[in-house]
A and B are shown apart, each in its own frame.
Chain A
Amino acid sequence: MPSKIEEKYWKNVLPNHQIKTKLSILNEKSKEISTDDKKNKENMDIQYIIRSSVVWHDPLACELCYPEYVIDEIPLVETDATSTVPTQQIRYREYQYNGDNTIATATEYDRFTKLQGCVFYDHICRRQNHYQFYIDTQRYFYNVKNMVKNWLVEQSKEFLYETNEPVLHIIFSPEHNTNVGFVQYVNIYCFNGLAEIVSINVDKQFRSNFICEHAAIKRMIEELHRDRYDMKNLPVKFYFVDDTVITGDTLEKANGLLHSLVPSSEYPVNLFSKIFVLVDRLSDETKQSYVDSPDKNFMAFLHIDVSNIRTHGDSCIGCKLEQDAEKLYKRSATRNMATYWFGKFKDYRKKPYDNKNEMLSIESSKSYRMLLFSHVLQNVVVKQGNCYTLGDVYDIVLNLSLWLLKVDDYEDKAAYGYKKYLEDMRNMDGVCTLLKTICRPFFSYDFKIKRQVYTFFIFLAELILGEKSSCIFPKNLEIKENIGYLLDNDRISKMDVLAKYIEKRITEEKKSELDFLKDYLLEGLTDMGSTYAMRMQTLKKVYKYFKSKEKNLSTNEKKEFWNSYEVNIHRLVTGNADESRELWLEYMYITGMEYRKFSIKNYNNDSYEPNFFYETIADTSLENQQDKYFYQFCHNLFMQNIGINFDGLEEKCIVQPSSESMDESFLKDYWKQMRKLDSFDNPLLNSREKEVNTQGEERLFILLKSGTNEVIEPSVNEWYERFLKYIVDVIVEKYNIDKKNINIAMLTENNENVEHINRIQFFDIVQDIVNSGKTGISETRYYIKERVVDALESGGLFDLENNGYTISEGNVLNGEKRPYVIAFFDNPGKGKQERSLARVFLYISIADDIETNKKELTLRLILRDVLMYRNRILRFLERDFAGEIYANYAHTIGERNILSHEKAHSHNTTADDAISLEIFQGEKIFGKESDYAILKKTTAAEWLLLRNYTNGQIAKIFNRSFHDHTEDVYSLNSPMLYIPNDSINYSNSLFKQKLDVFSRLNLKNENRGVSDDRFKLLNQIIYIQYDKTLNDALFIQGNNGQFYNLEYFKCILIDIMFSAIKFESDRPDYLLRIDRFLEIKDKLEKDVQSWDINDEATAGLIERLRDSQCSIKIFRDISLDSDIDYLVIQNPVKEMDNSMGNWEEQNEIIKHRLNNPLDYADGHMSLLAIKRYIENLDETMELECSFQYVVHKEDNGHEKLYFENRLPILKREVGRYETIILDR
């Protein structure tokens, strides 16, 4: 049966096997050629000579990529849109070829083994050549000097005296430092030192210069030719000597140059009669082009069957890895992943061979091991001809592994002839290197080899994960063409033994089984592009396996395991040529089923419930944080899956913005399916085809891709404003969430290193769009900052700092507060110390009626839409947030807001000022029918003066608290905030008095001589209560002995009293309150005398009047500091009708306001002024001022609300509280 895709391409075949074609070009051509031929006139037919059956698979449901039994997987040969030739090695088997069964000799082994310490496995470049294995031939030469000497002497016997005629031997050697020793040796031991050495740098030499430089030789050659007479042979012989030959370029150039020394036409095209090389990595065929009869004339001290890397085109594996790492870095959505790929990108970058530091960092024993195995495998697999039949390579890997693990029963004694070479590798390291080598290029470029290695790796992984052989295969294994060969040669039972031995050896060698699985099997399979690691069943098995090993793992190991698994999947999905893998993964993530199963089961539903991937795999719900890293892994998988969306948008708005050709493209289909999945529509149904609106997304894409198309670049602020707005638009458009339900903010963390400041103050909001009717903008901003700090400090299930994002967890999702996501941006790869980019956070919260299940996923989708642009956003942030400039600017915006509020200057609101104007304009108010019961114009003026003066002073203190508190106050004309210890209290210098003892405040206006009528006035309406002993209480001093300024402290106290008056009154403005308290006092002192106190109602009224007088209580209270006590000022709060709301909530708001004053630029600043003034006396003081509502029980059992100001300013008296402290 043809597949769905095939059906589209099938045509009916006419009876004479002619198939109609749509290729009009063919028709045109044939018209010209044979116009008369009736049959070909309209030539609609093509006749095929070879018939080949082709099967098309839907990539998502491909049975070869995603077979039911994972072991049945067949590698996918990757091509790209422009190439029809994939990176593939195809071998032609010679007729009657029996393989090269020569066994490595002892001499070869001796020479090879000396390579230890001279091999560097990395991406290394030397001039234009790139190496995967770079061999330091100079060092190698010194290791094998004696052997080289003997070898050269041996060689010279064979050729030096081939003829008796005089011959001039000219050795040509390229000029570089790594071949010097070898060239000398060749001259001395081969030519007895008689050869002429020509050594030049061919890259830099002009031919004319070369001729001039070697004019003597040229002349000598001419002479020799002149005297030649009837000599049979040519009088000059050329030899090419170098440490190694890579491309042959130098050799060819040298050949060209040397031709200018010899008479033309007499010498062959190829001048060199022999080539001496220390290390040879060329194939026999290549040598053929350099020299005649290479087996005789190409003399190599050591031959290694690991070819040099191809450098032409894009064939360097190192460069390809580097490019892939860069692509994956750019497509990393999480910070962890970005950091990982940035690291890899740096690692894969080519290293110059003469950079000592970098070369030394390459592990030499590993390099040697890799080279050794590459050499051995090339011989055993390719040269011995074991790469033509299915099962051969399988056996090699299996048998070698068993041999390396010393499994007696199956030991292949000879190790394919390389016993000696591998003798030292008979441990787990050996097996690991074997596995690493076989799954890498160039072995993995050979389809047949790759296919067997796939099967081997998957089989082994399944066994290690605890699967039984019988469950790994389908029952009808023998008819499976792909894996049927496993039934032969005992392969299955041998695998069982191998798996057991691997486990045993791992335990013996104290290695980690988990590491083996992760670093060799899963990574190897990923290297080859196998889907094994991303299959649902694999994930389940790995999770189960992980759980069984979890006990012995450290947190770091757990984290690392899942991180690396995540990297593997990211590479599989994003770094692969098969674009559909992302969609396949999305199906599994969102529906909980692999594509094929989903399509069958849910075909009839047009919408579906999203699935929690974590729960599907772990088969349990997340109750505690035990599986934190696996949970993160699940989330990260999802966050990473951004490629199709990105490509889809790019296609739509950059590549083909207006053309409709995208309708035809597979990409659009994948993109469409992806979008449907993400909006919980069944993508397999075509019936509910909605018109997709992507305008918002396109706008955001273009903004981030290329900034804007505008001629004038928007300012930095405008750009970020637009950025946030566009994100909001995308959320509105894509997820149907009302704009007003979205809050978004961009924050930076200021790097100021001030220890005693709450961390929340380091955060500044750069831009925000906050829609928060219920909590108020300031509170919302506080919550935003608090959540960011919380996410950074407490961690929770997500790790904001490492993963670069966090999502609100269950309790917030179900609660009243808005669920949120936070993304974090900084320079990955750079350490904290050297960071050049201020840390930037993007906060988004939504409130909507979406059911919780979908809400959580929607949040993640929103976050993913942002993280899709992680790299792009970073580019802009790097531009604007380099250093701390913009971050500091953001901080000053807050300060400017707060300082530009009118209250920061006079501390009076306009409404307050209006009352002052009553003195001048309020004729009626103070007239005959006065609105005041008691107040007369003059007393009112006194009260207003007191308030206005106090407010003015508080505003000054407040303003000064924003400047650096260490500023040199002496240099200013303004009075000192704190009075130095050595200054003298002159009674006439009002702003230079020290506050040393409580009685100096004279609150009850009792101390004669220092009378202060402000307190006389206040005492008229406030009943100030304090214990007399408080009079002797001493105030603390700063670390330089300075005191609080008495006048400023009085202002603070009066400000607190004004607040008390407000709290205790039920009148709407300041003067009405004063008037009312005066009235109450007056009534109680005078009128009450005439009232009928026997009348119950009147008696009650009198009682209530007494209660409603204004009072404050001042007392000392213990603090946690052994030297300091609090001075507490407490006043009752009139709370009618619960209009105050919840006082505990109010306490929270006060706390937030003081912790994060910049976002509360609403004028309520006196508490902050007080706090800063009190706390700044001594920077080292750890105690803080606190301002809060408290409830106390009255004698009658009723609860009463108080407001309490606690100021840590009293010196503790000796002996006081000692017993209390002991009790504690």
Chain B
Amino acid sequence: MKQLYWIDDNFQQVNYIAQGAISKLWKLEDIDKEEIASKILIFGNAYKVADTDELPTEENEREVYQKLQDLFMEECQKHDGPSKDRPMYNEKKVLIQDPISYLYKREVSGDLEAYKKMKGAWISENLDDKNSENYEKAAREAGLLIERMKIKPASVVGIDIALLHDDLERLRQKRRILSMELCHQILSAHIRCFMYSTEADDDILRKNWEEMYGSFYDNEEIKIYKRSDLMQKGNDDIVKEIDQMFEKEQKDEVQDNGKDNVG
């Protein structure tokens, strides 16, 4: 089973992707097709009206887990029909065994401090100079955050551009933001990565962001998708593109192994 991660700050929005790309990648139309399991990792506050430090609860996590499970069950129901054995469901239920994780939770001690620290590091000034103390600190925090995500090797990661409050404003001012740093660090660990955003509907904006990313990280290339393309009435080509990323990933891995052998 291939593993895909979605990093977002808001379940409501990622739920639209669940109704679109995520459920399409389950490939429930054919029991033999190799499916892609999605795991949604949630943290941040870009979608909130005000800048708050309020963390979601375990109850919130349970609710949205239920939501995903219901979506999955209903999707399977379309193929299983009245069959009481529910072959599709039973075969593929592994896909939603662990579909969601809130990275910082109210009940977990130390989470709030860690969240504030991470956030504080990323909203501070002077992050643009990669040699600055502030950036070093912020990059360290991003590293710690990636550790929390427990991303498996050979998976693909999609990251929402705006994760923290005012991220879009920072982008407008051409300042470094957290999501891009996450993307960079994940890519550096040889894991495929793409980004997406609701605001990426504006082609010029999207292009600017892609260029900006290159300027921050030594011309590294990044693909940014529109969120609407990943939704129910979205663009199936993009879903295919994501699917193909896994194949590339495998090839890369083979090549890397080969190199190791040579070495």
Contact = CB atoms under 8 A, between A and B. Distances in A.
Chain B associates with chain A? yes
Interface of A: 773-776, 925, 931, 1066-1069, 1072, 1083, 1087, 1090-1092, 1097-1098, 1101, 1104, 1136-1139, 1141-1142, 1145-1146, 1149
B170 to A, nearest CB: 9
B74 interface: yes
Nearest to A1098: B73
Given A774-B51, A1087-B77, A1101-B73, A1137 B56 contact: yes
Contacts of B166: 773-774
Nearest to B125: A738
A1068 B67 contact: no
Interface in B44-84: 47-52, 54, 56, 60, 63-64, 66-67, 69-70, 73-74, 77, 81-82, 84
A1068 B63 contact: no
A1136 B15 CA distance: 10
B42 interface: yes
Given A774-B166, A1137-B11, 13 more contacts: A773-B165, A776-B49, A1066-B15, A1067-B232, A1091-B82, A1101-B73, A1136-B12, A1136-B15, A1137-B63, A1139-B12, A1139-B13, A1139-B47, A1141-B48
B64 A1136 contact: yes
B243 to A, nearest CB: 17
B218 interface: no
Given A1136-B64, A1137-B64, A773 B81 contact: no
Contacts, number: 72
Contacts of B147: none
A1068 B50 CA distance: 22
A1101 B69 CA distance: 9
Contacts of A774: 50-51, 165-166
Contact of B232 (A931, A1087, A1091): A931
Interface of B: 10-13, 15-16, 19, 42, 47-52, 54, 56, 60, 63-64, 66-67, 69-70, 73-74, 77, 81-82, 84, 165-166, 169, 231-233
Nearest to B172: A773
Nearest to A775: B50
Contacts of A1146: 49
Contact of B82 (A775, A925, A1090, A1149): A1090
A1136 B11 contact: yes
A1104 B66 contact: yes
B231 A1068 contact: yes
Given A773-B166, A1072-B233, A1137 B12 contact: yes
Nearest to B60: A1137
Contacts of B42: 1137
Q: What does DSSP make chain A's interface, helix, strand, loop or mixed?
A: loop
Given A774-B165, A774-B166, A1101-B73, A1137 B10 contact: yes
B40 to A, nearest CB: 11
The 6 tightest CB contacts between A and B, nearest first, are A1090-B82, A1137-B11, A1139-B12, A1141-B49, A773-B166, A1068-B16
A1136 B63 contact: yes
A1139 B74 contact: no
Contacts of B64: 1136-1137
Contact of A1138 (B60, B70, B231): B60
19 contacts: A773-B166, A774-B165, A774-B166, A1066-B12, A1066-B67, A1068-B16, A1068-B231, A1069-B233, A1090-B81, A1090-B82, A1101-B70, A1104-B70, A1136-B64, A1136-B67, A1138-B54, A1138-B60, A1139-B12, A1141-B48, A1142-B50
Contacts of A1137: 10-12, 42, 56, 60, 63-64
A1083 B54 CA distance: 37
B232 A1101 contact: no
A1072 B51 CA distance: 31
Contacts of A1145: 49-50
A708 B54 CA distance: 51
Nearest to B17: A1068
A782 to B, nearest CB: 14
A773 B48 contact: no
A931 B233 CA distance: 6
Contact of A1068 (B60, B165, B232): B232
B100 to A, nearest CB: 10
A1180 B73 CA distance: 57
Contacts of B11: 1136-1137, 1139
Nearest to A1075: B232
A1091 to B, nearest CB: 7
B18 to A, nearest CB: 10
A737 to B, nearest CB: 14
B84 A1092 contact: yes
A1068 B73 CA distance: 20
Contacts of A773: 165-166, 169
Contacts of A1097: 69, 73
A925 B70 CA distance: 24
Nearest to B93: A1097
A1139 B231 contact: no
A1098 B60 CA distance: 21
A1091 B81 CA distance: 8
Residue among A1068, A1072, A1098, A1104 with the highest chain B CB neighbour number at 10 A: A1068
Contacts of B74: 1083, 1101
B52 to A, nearest CB: 8
B181 to A, nearest CB: 20
Contacts of B49: 776, 1141, 1145-1146, 1149
Nearest to B89: A1097
Contacts of B67: 1066, 1136
A1138 B12 CA distance: 9
B91 to A, nearest CB: 15
Nearest to B227: A1068
A944 B165 CA distance: 35
A1139 B48 contact: yes
A334 to B, nearest CB: 36
Contacts of B73: 1097-1098, 1101
Nearest to A1108: B70
A1102 to B, nearest CB: 10
A1139 B13 CA distance: 9
Nearest to A1083: B74
A1067 B19 contact: yes
Contacts of A1142: 50, 52
A1083 B56 CA distance: 32
Nearest to B232: A931
Contacts of B19: 1067
A1092 B64 CA distance: 24
B115 to A, nearest CB: 15
Contacts of B15: 1066, 1136
A1073 B19 CA distance: 12
Contacts of B233: 925, 931, 1069, 1072
Contacts of B12: 1066, 1136-1137, 1139
Contacts of B52: 1141-1142
Nearest to B57: A1138
Contacts of B51: 774
Contacts of A1101: 70, 73-74
Contacts of A1092: 84
A228 B13 CA distance: 127
* Residue with the greatest number of chain A CB neighbours at <10 A, chosen from B13, B56, B63, B233: B233
Nearest to B55: A1138
A1138 B42 CA distance: 12
B50 A1141 contact: yes
A1139 B233 CA distance: 23
Contacts of B66: 1104
A934 to B, nearest CB: 13
Contacts of A1068: 16, 231-232
A1137 B13 CA distance: 10
Contacts of A1072: 232-233
A940 to B, nearest CB: 12
B123 to A, nearest CB: 11
